[in-house]
Amino acid sequence: MGVTLPDRQLDELAEEASPFVRLAMVEDVLNLARANSLWPLTFGLACCAIEMMAVGMAKYDLDRFGAAVFRPSPRQADLMILAGTISRKMAPVIKTLWDQMPEPKWSIAMGGCTISGGPFKYPGEYAISEGAEKFMRVDVHIPGCPPRPEALIAGILRLEEKIKQGRRGGAGEQNG
C-alpha cells in the first residue's frame, strides 16, 4: 500500500479500468476514513498551542470528530497543526518533522504567525519565518491571534471536507 501514484496516472487508470474495477470507490471510502480519524501531532509552538489544548479539553472536545488522539511521534500523526510563531531557528526543525510524517499528511496553519508572520512581522524583522508557506505545504489557514477553539474546530472540519472531496494530500505536492 506504500506505493503512491502521481494523480495523473491515477485518473487515467480509473478511466481505463472503470468497467471492471471501481477504483474511485476504494479511494472515497479511504478518504472518508482518513477524514474522520485525523491524528494531530503533539506540537505547540507558542500562544496558539494553549488554544489548541483548549480544543482537546472537555468544553470543546475535539474527540467528538475522532481527531483528539494527539500522537507525540510524527510517524503516527497525519495532521500537523502549526500552532504559534515559527522562528527562523525552529523552521528547519518543523521541516524535518513534516518530512518524517508518512503520507497522506495534511497541515493546518493556525494563527496569524503561521499564515504571514502575524504581529511579529515588520519591515526589517530578523527572527521569524513569515508564514509556514515559505517552506512547507499548508492545507487550511485559520486566521486569528489566537483563533478561538471554535475556529480551530471549524478549520479541522473544513480540512475533513477537503479530504472527503478527494484532494489527495499525499503524492503530488500540489497546493490543495
In the window 149-168, what residues touch other proteins (CB under 8 A)?
none
Cβ proximity to other proteins, 15 vs 173, nearer residue: 173
List the one residue from 5, 10, 28, 170 that touches other proteins (CB under 8 A): 170
Q: Which residues does residue 108 pair with via DSSP β-bridges, in sequence order?
A: 81, 140
Residue owning grid cell 472531496: 165
Interaction of residue 42 with other proteins, rule CB under 8 A: yes
**End-to-end CA separation in angstroms for the chain:** 22
Cβ proximity to other proteins, 6 vs 102, nearer residue: 102
Interaction of residue 114 with other proteins, rule CB under 8 A: no
List the one residue from 9, 17, 18, 92 that touches other proteins (CB under 8 A): 92
Q: How far is CA 82 from CA 20, 95, 121, 141, 152, in A?
A: 42, 11, 17, 10, 11
Per CB under 8 A, contacts with other proteins among 61-90 are: 61, 63-66, 69, 71-76, 78, 84-85, 87-90
Interaction of residue 8 with other proteins, rule CB under 8 A: no
CB of 16 to other proteins, least distance (A): 22
Q: Are 5 and 171 in contact (CB under 8 A)?
A: yes
Q: How far apart are CA 156 and CA 33, in angstroms?
A: 15
